[in-house]
Amino acid sequence: MARVVVDVMLKPEILDPQGQAVQRALPRLGFAGISDVRQGKRFELEVEGPVDDAALARIREMAETFLANTVIEDFDVKVES
Amino acid sequence: MARVVVDVMLKPEILDPQGQAVQRALPRLGFAGISDVRQGKRFELEVEGPVDDAALARIREMAETFLANTVIEDFDVKVES
Amino acid sequence: MSLDTVKHAAGTPESAQPWKELGLKEDEYARIREILGRRPTGAELAMYSVMWSEHCSYKSSKVHLKQFGEKAPQTDALLVGIGENAGVVDVGQGYAVTFKIESHNHPSYIEPYQGAATGVGGIVRDILAMGARPVAVMDPLRFGAADHPDTKRVLPGVVAGVGGYGNCLGLPNIGGEVVFDPCYQGNPLVNALCVGVMKHEDIHLAQASGTGNKVILYGARTGGDGIGGVSVLASETFDSTGPSRRPAVQVGDPFQEKLLIECTLEIFREQLVAGIQDLGGAGLSCATSELASAGSGGMRVELDTVPLRDATLSPEEILMSESQERMCAIVEPGKVDRFLEICEKWDVIATVIGEVTEGSRLEIFWHGEQIVDVPPRSVAHEGPTYHRPYARPDWQDTLQADDAGRLARPANAEELRAQVLALVGSPNQASKSWVTDQYDRFVQGNTVLAQPEDSGVVRIDADTNLGVALATDGNGRYAKLDPYTGAQLALAEAYRNVAATGAKPLAVSDCLNFGSPEDPAVMWQFAEATRGLADGCLALGTPVTGGNVSLYNQTGDQAIHPTPVVAVLGVIDDVNRRTPMAFSEQGQLILLLGDTREEFGGSAWSQVVHDHLGGLPPAVDLEREKLLAEILISGSRDGMIDAAHDLSDGGLIQAVTESCLRGGNGARLVVPDGLDAFTFLFSESAGRAIVAVPRSEELRFTDMCGARGLPVSRIGVIDGDAVEVQGEFAIPLAELGAAHEATIPGLLV
Amino acid sequence: MTARIGVVTFPGTLDDRDTQRAISIAGAEAVPLWHRDKDLKQVDAVVLPGGFSYGDYLRAGAISRFSPVMGAIVEQANGGMPVLGICNGFQVLCEAHLLPGAMLRNTGLHFVCRDQKLRVETSATAWTADYAAGEEISIPLKNIDGRYTADERTLDELESEGRVVFRYQELNPNGSLRDIAGISNAAGNVVGLMPHPEHAVEPLIGTGRTDGLAFFTSVIKKLVTA
Ligand SMILES: Nc1ncnc2c1ncn2[C@@H]1O[C@H](COP(=O)(O)OP(=O)(O)O)[C@@H](O)[C@H]1O
Ligand SMILES: [Mg+2]
């Protein structure tokens, strides 16, 4: 069985309150040198059968229509090695 | 500026209702062949300065004490190519 | 791209400008040139276009809205009327209450969660800007058909957004509506109400006065999201999002808003502001022009000092950005340091971006170069006014002639019983707890009544027990049959709901949701509804204190039902005497107040059983509504009634079912003389309520009704664990409860 | 002597003023504490109230846990000072490792607001002495991240040491393991729970019951007789 990972991140121009809150907290915790933090979602999908082009195309469609809200989010599909 | 990614996933033994909800919805949306879905978080950190071993060690510490709660979550730190 | 300065604009009169893409009409663009005596700069064009949009300028609606002022009833209760961020009402003991309802319909269709969330955020800032602490929210919602697949997308997202934002702010949600109708498919209505409390002396206004006073922008950084949101809000189509590549969707940050609230209240407490305005639609364009327009002088703003989230934003985009969670304050120079200190305490970014000037112009600079030089009134208050043509549509007569009284009625007791179960389990009549259980109704520790009660009641003074009550109502089906009467029915129902809990109705806010104003039939509906509401408010003595208009709620040439949503605010001097809806004592008598007639036009019964909409809505008698309210309030004050529930859609059986289920007790009902069981159970005649009265109080109560001329009949007794209509049928509470509770969760799995 | 009970406000805390009111109603003095405070103003006990501190961003309680005031609270809690964490406060206590385990998204994935029945499993804590062990109470519950989780060993330890303080009755609203609604530390001075006792202290308000008042009277009695 193969694992496909779908990363979903807010588009760069969209406000990311969570990432901002994390970033603002870092210096207080003693972690300097991080100039920006964005927080997104990671989906790990266990795929039955071969992860061929057809399967990847289906997963991409799934990401586009369901896992991500493309009004505000971008996504990225990767096969886990 | 370099980007470091921290992936945070619930430990395998912990119930992930969000992932399950996604998985349950897939067949209804016409996507078959996904046997499991887990949902986690992805942090993209923009690091000032070089991402050397020292920097990575600091980020790993940050993930361990802050970005993840290791009672329930595992994490993984990667330098984005 | 080079900067389009005022000087440059004056020297290049022929430059082509994207006024059309920005939603301006040719004559509007010509008028801007006339006002300025030259072509506008890009920044000025951006400002005018957003401020003269339907959403900000009310250009189609204002000729009709005028009636709310012209016909305003005489009342001492109104401290601040229409025109400010929200109206303010005197509720006694030195307290003032401000409340307002607003729409976020189109954004919630595009992105349900964020659309609804930022809708709540926006109305809360309006209330905060008046000087008040927000104390509760409500959310009247309307969706397409309950079983339509898109409803499964929109409804859970909207509910999660309303809850996600409101819960995180710590504002109890004390009521609202959930209505389904195919007419809202593609045009869901997400209205949000906020109510706030302050002392009289704390009222703040949006005005920039005092030469030399500083203009401080505080709250979130300005980003590229929401640019073009104004055009989306009010434009004909969703794809005309302005010239920008920026997304029209705004993302809310309720945590930032919570900090903004606490920070602002602390600033008010130390009396550090001379004027204040929230940033909502049209962002800085709106805040600067409105503050300057309402003030005595001019204003100068250094736009490049605005803290940005995205350094690539152009000055036009900064002016138009609708980034959430921002406020703008006018502060005397001597108080600026303390102001900034309080902001720092709350981790809120605050920046002096300009000052109030001697002159009369709004001047905006970008790195030292002037990009805006306008008379602020021309932007904020002197936008175009349309007298749009309107005409009663020719189908209206046919619709009204299609009388619901001719529909087949249940033939026997068994059918009657089945129709009762179908009604109380229909999506519109079913329990909304799947929705409302996602809202925090307890936070702040002052909630006396919340959903599913007739009105939400919050205590505003823990020592004196002073409280306020609020209800919102609207019935698009009634309004479709007759918009004038439909608006009055919405008003009457909300008024009755407030009185049913024992509070005295004082004032009104409204959200007018309609189709395209460019359709004369829709414009007629709008004209009729506003006329009905203004006349109704005059008759009831409850002034309209403010509200919101949402137009273009239509898909192609298919408009939504005209949907005026009316909120009524009431006051209760001692929340201990609030009247709940639950039938909680067996043996108490159930009395029906008011007249029941054969009125089924637009009724829930006609919809559920026959999928029919036709005829006339129930008749309105506002004098009767006043009398009923007086009786309900007296009953509460003198301790004569233990429960009350207003009658509205679904009629008597719906109300009895809700009161029985809430109290966990059954009822035995007897059909009164002169009525048949069907009419008794399903008629939607207005001006009615049921009350539960201890036997010892019956005579005193019915005597009071008799003396004042309110019809009252004893229709039954709280008893057993079934709802029984004598001689007809009995339905165990468990069966009624299952039918009532299962529907909404069943639709959304 | 009047007991002084501190109530911490983090950015995003919501129930601080209600908690202060509940403390006054119970007869003690409520002392506001700010998250940046480094000392506790000599209070005798502390309540971490509910809300969405730091928006619950990252994880509920994850950012607040690092506030200056938490340093002092951890130190004094380890020295025996009574500390109560309600809802978000409970989450902060877990993140700060004053209590074991962690809180996850409700299994139903929705925010849940309801009148919740609980069984008080033990009266041997600073905050439950005025209840009888086994007593059933009903108080409001409202959260989206309320699923209490810990590994089996920790759960067994909590059970065997009598540190499960509250259990959900009739319905488990969030999927908490073993129906756990609240727990204590080994010494019994630190207690955390998801439901909200401070919303159940006045007859007319909220659910109309006063089942939550004994939290506050319990600790006050203990402090006054100490
Ligand atoms: N979206 C909502 N948010 C909060 N409360 C709601 C919502 N929808 C319905 N309610 C509440 O449910 C109860 C029943 O609603 P409804 O039948 O519309 O009341 P009524 O007919 O008395 O106006 C009321 O207390 C109302 O405030
Ligand atoms: Mg009602």
- In terms of CA atoms, which chain A residue is nearest residue D68? A28
pLDDT for position C241: 39
In the beta sheet, which residues pair with residue C448?
A: none
The two structure tokens encoding residue C49: 């276009």
pLDDT higher than 70, residue C231: no
Residue C587 CA to residue C719 CA, distance in Å, equals: 6
- Rg over CA atoms, chain C: 26
Sign of CA dihedral C331, C334, C338, C341: positive
Nearest CA to ligand 1 atom 14: C452
The two structure tokens encoding residue C719: 């008893």
Q: Express each pLDDT in C149-166 by its tens digit.
A: 999 999 999 999 999 999
Contact D58 A22 (CB under 8 A): yes
For the annotated binding site of C for substrate, the residues are 103-106, 125, 250, 322-324, 550
pLDDT higher than 70, residue C243: no
Which positions of chain D have pLDDT values less than 70?
none
Question: Where do the domains of chain A lie?
Answer: 2-80
| C244–A contact, CB cutoff 8 A | no
* Helix or strand holding residue D116 (H, E): strand D112-120
Contact C256 A72 (CB under 8 A): no
Q: What SS3 string covers C399-428? A: HHHCCHHHCCCCCCHHHHHHHHHHHHCCCC
Residue C498 CA to residue C629 CA, distance in Å, equals: 8
Residue B49 CA to residue A34 CA, distance in Å, equals: 9
The two structure tokens encoding residue C377: 């009134």
Contact D105 B17 (CB under 8 A): yes
Please report residues of D whose CB lies closer than 8 A to that of B18.
105, 109
pLDDT for position C239: 37
Q: Express each pLDDT in C343-366 by its tens digit.
A: 999 999 999 999 999 999 999 999
Nearest to D204 among C167, C256, C576 (CB): C576
Q: Express each pLDDT in C40-53 by its tens digit.
A: 999 999 999 999 99
β pairing state of C643-646 and C689-693: antiparallel
Q: In terms of C-beta density within 10 A (0-12 exposed, 13-18 middle, 19 or more buried), how is residue C406 classed?
A: exposed
| B78–A contact, CB cutoff 8 A | no
Give me chain B's average pLDDT, please: 93
Out of C8, C64, C104, C612, the active site residue is C104
Tell me the CA end-to-end span of chain D in Å, nearest whole number: 11
pLDDT higher than 70, residue C66: yes
| B14–D contact, CB cutoff 8 A | yes
| C435: phi then psi, degrees, rounded to nearest 5 | -80, -55
pLDDT higher than 90, residue C695: yes
Pocket-testing residue among C177, C441, C497, C511, ligand 1, by greatest number of atoms within 8 A of Cβ: C177
Q: Is D196 one of the annotated active-site residues of the chain?
A: yes
* Helix or strand holding residue A3 (H, E): strand A2-10
b/e map C193-231, b = 16+ CB within 10 Å: bbbbbbeeebbbbbbbbbeebbbbbbbbbbbbbbbbbbb
Q: Express each pLDDT in D58-115 by its tens digit.
A: 999 999 999 999 999 999 999 999 999 999 999 999 999 999 999 999 999 999 999 9
| Mean pLDDT value of segment C112-141 | 96
pLDDT higher than 50, residue C727: yes
Name the residue among C644, C622, C620, C617 with its Cα closest to residue C633.
C644
Residue C635 CA to residue C710 CA, distance in Å, equals: 13
Residue type, C533: L
Cβ partners under 8 Å of residue C638, min gap 6: C700
Asked if omega into C618 is within 30° of 0 (cis), the reply is no
Cα D89 from chain centroid (whole Å): 6
Give me chain C's average pLDDT, please: 94
| A26–C contact, CB cutoff 8 A | no
Shortest distance, CA D123 to any CA of chain C (angstroms): 26
Out of D35, D95, D121, D198, the active site residue is D198
Residue C262 CA to residue C256 CA, distance in Å, equals: 10
Q: Is C104 one of the annotated active-site residues of the chain?
A: yes
Question: Where do the domains of chain C lie?
Answer: 74-356, 395-508+568-748
Side-chain-side CA neighbours of C525 within 13 Å: the count stands at 29
Out of D35, D95, D196, D199, the active site residue is D196
pLDDT for position C1: 54
pLDDT for position C206: 81
pLDDT higher than 90, residue C504: yes
Q: Is D94 one of the annotated active-site residues of the chain?
A: no
Nearest CA to ligand 1 atom 21: C648
Domain of D146?
4-225
pLDDT higher than 60, residue C230: no
b/e map C541-567, b = 16+ CB within 10 Å: bbbbbbbbbbbbbbeeeebbbbbbbbb
- CATH number of the structural domain B2-80: 3.30.1280.10
Q: Quick check: C359 and C297 in contact, CB under 8 A?
A: yes
pLDDT higher than 70, residue C214: yes
Fold classification of C395-508+568-748 (topology level)? Phosphoribosyl-aminoimidazole Synthetase; Chain A, domain 2 (3.90.650)
- Beta carbon of C175 within 6 Å of any ligand 1 atom: yes
pLDDT for position C236: 34
pLDDT for position C102: 96
Nearest CA to ligand 1 atom 2: C176
Residue C496 CA to residue C564 CA, distance in Å, equals: 17
Name the residue among C699, C731, C702, C707 with its Cα closest to residue C592.
C702
Q: Quick check: C424 and C153 in contact, CB under 8 A?
A: no
Domain count across chain D: 1
- Rg over CA atoms, chain A: 16
| Mean pLDDT value of segment C210-217 | 95
Shortest distance, CA A21 to any CA of chain B (angstroms): 12
Nearest CA to ligand 1 atom 13: C452
Ligand nearest C662 Cα, by number? Answer: 1
b/e map C474-507, b = 16+ CB within 10 Å: bbbbbbbbbbbbbbbbbbbbbbbbbbbbbbbbbb
Averages of pLDDT over runs of 10 residues in chain A (81 residues) are: 93 91 91 93 94 91 92 93 68
Q: Quick check: C568 and C494 in contact, CB under 8 A?
A: yes
CATH number at residue D89: 3.40.50.880
Q: What SS3 string covers C161-174? A: HHHHHHHHHCCCEE
Q: How confident is the model at residue C228 (pLDDT cuts 50, 70, 90)?
A: low
Q: Quick check: C289 and C379 in contact, CB under 8 A?
A: yes
Residue D35 CA to residue D33 CA, distance in Å, equals: 7
ipTM entry? 0.92
The two structure tokens encoding residue C233: 């809000």
CATH class belonging to C74-356: alpha beta
Give B32's DSSP letter. Answer: -
| A71–B contact, CB cutoff 8 A | no
